[in-house]
Amino acid sequence: MKFKIAPQAPRGMHDLLKDDAELFLGIFNEILKHSYLYGFEYIRTPIVEKEEIFTASLGAFTDVIEKEMFYIDKKEKGEKYVLRPEGTAAIARAYLQNGMHSWPQPVKLFYFGPMFRYERPQAGRYREHYQWGLEIIGTEDPIYDAKIIQTFDRFLRKFKLKDFIFRINSIGCLNDRNKYKKYLKKYYKKYLKNICEDCKRRYVNNPLRLLDCKNEKDQEIKKSAPVIVDYLCKQCEEHFKKTLEYLEELEIQYELDPHLVRGFDYYSKTVFEIYFVEKTTAIGGGGRYDYLIKFLGGKQIPGVGGAIGIERLMDIFKIHQIKLNVYKKPLVFIAYATEKAKKYAYYVYDLLLKNNINVVENFAKNSLTSQLEYADKIGVKYSIIIGHYEMGSKSVILKNMLDKIQETIPLANLVEELKSRLK
């Protein structure tokens, strides 16, 4: 029986090739160096997690839980498994499971990996997308709210990027939010016939998320809604004030967004998003989550973090024509003149690689002419040519591909000679 295979990636997922792949790896390389420089330690969590990790922490009435979870078909002992939709809840689970409370506090972690959302694919939104995340767990000091923002800000500025802003707000503690929700529902009650169907459900189940609606008509209604900073307790008000003072001390550009709430229930106090003038959607965001670990069954341990979407960051890099080169273009090509010389050419090729000389080959081509044509196309500086004579004399022909001058070099001197010429 023959099966017809559709050679396409799943909807909302995509391949990375050539320049895009190079940019992705370049960003990853810079993220590793930058995260370690700012004191964060790498953590990797599984792509698959128990469903309850997210239902308990993100909120049962968030879009992610209601609409966007990728479920694994098989169950194990009644447990439901999902592809992780975000990174923070998984980090909190790892913190509890691995006894990180016994580590020196605060614990500073970073991650880089794929997240999965079953949402409608569109520009800047993929069902599989990568995130770089930062988490600081074990302190409620507002200086660490500022540190998360600082780390992202300094990374972007490293590439001379300037046209971005941190939109920031405080959504207070649970008591503040409960008090604020009453006034928010009172305001929206007179607009119940006008708001979208999603917001009608949010009004009943999760009124704070009314402020997170992207519907244009609802955005207009939101403009006159009461603001949560007017309902902060003294402690939350002081926390927010100190966070902003630290940002000002570091000369980080921010603007207050009194209706910014973010989409997950675990957030408290500081929330922020990162916007570029060229984009209508945020490239990243985050905030404080002092109740998250308690939601997952632990003690109340404060934390703060954030994440940047790599695909959205790549779009910004492309707009600003920022290129990051991880792959170094080879400058040396190795060719053979006869089938008998092929084994010796392979030996020389391996010798150069063992000495960290970036050399390229095309052993699939048998003709010396076609091999050298290939070398010309990829733009190498030198070609090493090996024939019957070179095999016997333990030497090679070194050809300068620019001026076409050839010379014979003993194999014993080849590595030193190439390193000298390629400086």
Residue 288 contacts by C-beta under 8 Å, 6 or more apart in sequence? 140, 145, 267, 268, 269, 270, 271, 302, 303, 304
Residue 319 contacts by C-beta under 8 Å, 6 or more apart in sequence? 278
Whether the pLDDT of residue 61 is over 60: the answer is no
Distance between alpha carbon 61 and the CA centroid of its chain, in Å? 26
Whether the pLDDT of residue 65 is over 80: the answer is no
pLDDT tens for residues 121-146? 776 678 999 999 999 999 999 999 99
**pLDDT of the residue at 55:** 86
**pLDDT of the residue at 60:** 60
Closest CA to 100 of 308, 287, 296: 296
pLDDT tens for residues 211-246? 888 788 888 899 899 999 999 999 999 999 999 999
Whether the pLDDT of residue 77 is over 90: the answer is no
Pairwise pLDDT comparison (213 vs 343), residue with the higher score:
343
Q: Report d(CA 366, CA 183) in Å as an integer.
A: 79
Q: Please state, rounded to an integer, the average pLDDT across all residues of the chain.
A: 93
**pLDDT of the residue at 311:** 96
Adjacent-strand bridge partners of 111: 133
- pLDDT band for position 202 (50/70/90)? confident
**pLDDT of the residue at 4:** 74
- Structural domains in the chain, sorted by start: 18-173+233-319 (3.30.930.10), 332-421 (3.40.50.800)
Which pair of tokens denotes residue 400?
A: 């300068």
- pLDDT band for position 62 (50/70/90)? low
pLDDT tens for residues 29-60? 999 999 999 999 999 999 999 999 988 877 66
Cα dihedral 366, 368, 369, 375, rounded to 10, equals 100
Which pair of tokens denotes residue 57?
A: 């922490």
**pLDDT of the residue at 267:** 92
Which pair of tokens denotes residue 393?
A: 């004399």
**To the nearest whole percent, how much of the chain has pLDDT over 90?**
75
**pLDDT of the residue at 332:** 98
**pLDDT of the residue at 367:** 95
Secondary structure (3-state) at 205: helix
Report field, pTM of the whole predicted structure over 0.85: yes
- pLDDT band for position 89 (50/70/90)? very high
- pLDDT band for position 151 (50/70/90)? very high
pLDDT tens for residues 281-338? 899 999 999 999 999 999 999 999 999 999 999 999 999 999 998 888 899 999 999 9
pLDDT tens for residues 368-417? 999 999 999 999 999 999 999 999 999 999 999 999 999 999 999 999 99
Q: What is the mean pLDDT of residues 85-111?
A: 97
Q: State the burial class of residue 59 (Cβ atoms within 10 Å of its Cβ: 0-12, 13-18, 19+).
A: buried
Buried b (16+ CB within 10 A) or exposed e, 338-369: eeebeebbeebbeebeeeebebbbeeeeeebe
Q: State the burial class of residue 209 (Cβ atoms within 10 Å of its Cβ: 0-12, 13-18, 19+).
A: buried
**pLDDT of the residue at 337:** 96
Q: What is the DSSP letter of 174?
A: H
**pLDDT of the residue at 59:** 65
Residue whose structure tokens are 């014979």: 408
